[in-house]
Structure 1
């Protein structure tokens, strides 16, 4: 390999490392956000109205409908 090829390969690997680091930070933020919402909703009446955004669409649901979904999502993010 030439020096240029080595440098290009290094740059590619470095960009990939940065991308992975950004994704890890994003997932950690999502986990923290889920924890805050779950902890808050656990203390709220299950029949109370709440809103859940899925894919940019806001849905009206009850706490007892949303809480299991949030817990499931949190578990999925944790094991990615």
Structure 2
């Protein structure tokens, strides 16, 4: 039975930051732990919502009042 996996390791797994061997260990843990697998699914959904939110923000125009507040270099 694989050792317990930390929440940080689960987050790194979802974000693709684990080496192959570490990812394989997490996957083995998830196969035997339905609660861990459910947590990973929640993390994936949350990450997807954050990506979509970020894309929406990038499409928004910067309000003129914010642009006006940026200090300009003296000439």
User: Where on the TM-score scale, by shorter chain, does this alignment land: which range?
Assistant: 0.3 to 0.5
Query: What TM-score comes out, normalization by structure 2 length?
Result: 0.41
Query: What TM-score comes out, normalization by structure 1 length?
Result: 0.38
Structure showing the higher strand proportion among its residues:
1
